[in-house]
Amino acid sequence: MSKQKVIVLSVTEQGLSISEAARRYGVSRRWVHVLIRRYRDGGTAALAQRSRRPHNNAHRIPPPTADRIRSLRRDLTAAGLDAGPVTIAWHLAREGITAPSTSTIRRILHA
Protein backbone atom coordinates (compact mmCIF):
# COMPACT_ATOMS: atom_id res chain seq x y z
CA MET A 1 0.00 0.00 0.00
CA SER A 2 1.33 3.41 -0.91
CA LYS A 3 2.18 6.06 1.65
CA GLN A 4 -0.48 8.36 0.20
CA LYS A 5 -3.18 5.74 0.67
CA VAL A 6 -2.05 5.05 4.24
CA ILE A 7 -2.21 8.77 5.07
CA VAL A 8 -5.69 9.18 3.60
CA LEU A 9 -7.06 6.06 5.28
CA SER A 10 -5.62 7.06 8.63
CA VAL A 11 -7.51 10.36 8.39
CA THR A 12 -10.77 9.08 6.87
CA GLU A 13 -11.07 5.65 8.54
CA GLN A 14 -9.10 5.91 11.79
CA GLY A 15 -10.16 9.44 12.59
CA LEU A 16 -6.68 10.94 12.85
CA SER A 17 -6.62 14.71 12.54
CA ILE A 18 -4.83 16.22 9.60
CA SER A 19 -2.13 17.65 11.86
CA GLU A 20 -1.57 14.27 13.57
CA ALA A 21 -1.35 12.45 10.24
CA ALA A 22 1.10 15.01 8.88
CA ARG A 23 3.29 14.72 11.95
CA ARG A 24 3.14 10.90 12.04
CA TYR A 25 4.03 10.40 8.37
CA GLY A 26 6.49 13.28 8.04
CA VAL A 27 4.59 15.34 5.46
CA SER A 28 3.07 18.81 5.48
CA ARG A 29 -0.53 19.50 6.46
CA ARG A 30 -1.03 21.01 3.04
CA TRP A 31 -0.03 17.73 1.36
CA VAL A 32 -2.51 15.82 3.54
CA HIS A 33 -5.26 18.23 2.46
CA VAL A 34 -4.31 17.68 -1.19
CA LEU A 35 -4.40 13.90 -0.77
CA ILE A 36 -7.80 13.97 0.92
CA ARG A 37 -9.22 16.21 -1.81
CA ARG A 38 -7.89 13.85 -4.50
CA TYR A 39 -9.35 10.87 -2.65
CA ARG A 40 -12.79 12.49 -2.39
CA ASP A 41 -12.74 13.47 -6.07
CA GLY A 42 -11.45 10.24 -7.58
CA GLY A 43 -11.11 7.48 -4.98
CA THR A 44 -7.93 5.52 -4.34
CA ALA A 45 -6.96 5.60 -8.03
CA ALA A 46 -6.49 9.39 -7.75
CA LEU A 47 -3.76 8.87 -5.13
CA ALA A 48 -1.29 7.37 -7.63
CA GLN A 49 1.91 9.27 -8.43
CA ARG A 50 1.43 11.95 -11.08
CA SER A 51 3.90 13.10 -13.67
CA ARG A 52 5.58 16.42 -12.93
CA ARG A 53 6.43 16.96 -16.56
CA PRO A 54 5.01 20.17 -18.06
CA HIS A 55 2.10 19.80 -20.45
CA ASN A 56 3.70 22.06 -23.03
CA ASN A 57 6.86 24.01 -23.75
CA ALA A 58 6.21 27.73 -24.02
CA HIS A 59 9.57 28.32 -25.72
CA ARG A 60 9.10 25.80 -28.52
CA ILE A 61 9.34 27.18 -32.04
CA PRO A 62 6.09 26.62 -34.00
CA PRO A 63 6.48 23.79 -36.54
CA PRO A 64 5.64 26.03 -39.55
CA THR A 65 8.47 28.39 -38.58
CA ALA A 66 10.93 25.51 -38.18
CA ASP A 67 9.83 24.12 -41.56
CA ARG A 68 10.32 27.54 -43.16
CA ILE A 69 13.83 27.77 -41.67
CA ARG A 70 14.73 24.41 -43.22
CA SER A 71 13.23 25.32 -46.59
CA LEU A 72 15.05 28.67 -46.62
CA ARG A 73 18.31 26.82 -45.95
CA ARG A 74 17.66 24.49 -48.90
CA ASP A 75 16.64 27.34 -51.23
CA LEU A 76 19.54 29.60 -50.34
CA THR A 77 22.08 26.77 -50.57
CA ALA A 78 20.69 25.68 -53.94
CA ALA A 79 21.00 29.26 -55.22
CA GLY A 80 24.62 29.40 -54.07
CA LEU A 81 23.92 32.13 -51.51
CA ASP A 82 24.88 32.46 -47.87
CA ALA A 83 22.57 30.22 -45.83
CA GLY A 84 23.72 30.98 -42.29
CA PRO A 85 21.47 31.70 -39.31
CA VAL A 86 21.83 35.49 -39.63
CA THR A 87 20.79 35.42 -43.28
CA ILE A 88 17.87 33.10 -42.54
CA ALA A 89 16.73 35.41 -39.71
CA TRP A 90 16.85 38.34 -42.14
CA HIS A 91 14.73 36.46 -44.71
CA LEU A 92 12.21 35.46 -42.05
CA ALA A 93 11.88 39.08 -40.90
CA ARG A 94 11.37 40.18 -44.51
CA GLU A 95 8.52 37.65 -44.82
CA GLY A 96 6.87 38.99 -41.67
CA ILE A 97 7.68 35.93 -39.58
CA THR A 98 9.01 36.59 -36.10
CA ALA A 99 12.54 35.23 -36.31
CA PRO A 100 13.92 33.26 -33.38
CA SER A 101 17.45 33.95 -32.20
CA THR A 102 20.31 32.93 -34.46
CA SER A 103 21.39 30.27 -31.96
CA THR A 104 17.90 28.75 -32.15
CA ILE A 105 18.04 28.79 -35.94
CA ARG A 106 21.42 27.07 -35.78
CA ARG A 107 20.00 24.42 -33.42
CA ILE A 108 17.08 23.76 -35.79
CA LEU A 109 19.45 23.38 -38.74
CA HIS A 110 21.70 20.99 -36.85
CA ALA A 111 18.85 18.82 -35.57
Instruction: Using DSSP, state whether 80 is helix, strand or coil.
Output: coil
pTM confidence score: 0.55
Domain contains 29: yes
Write the pLDDT tens digit of every residue in 91-100: 999 999 999 9
Please tell me the total count of domains within the chain. 2
Statement to judge: residues 67 and 103 lie in one domain: yes
Both 72 and 43 in one domain: the answer is no
Question: What pLDDT sits at residue 12?
Answer: 93
Using alpha carbons, list the distances in angstroms from residue 56 to 19, 51, 104.
Answer: 36, 13, 18
Integer Cα distance of 89 and 101 in angstroms: 8
pLDDT band at 23 (very low <50, low <70, confident <90, very high): very high
For 25-58, the pLDDT digits (tens) are: 999 999 999 999 999 999 988 998 889 898 888 8
Could you report the per-residue pLDDT of 52-88, keeping only the tens digit for each?
A: 898 888 888 999 999 999 999 999 999 999 999 999 9
Flag whether 39 is in a domain.
yes
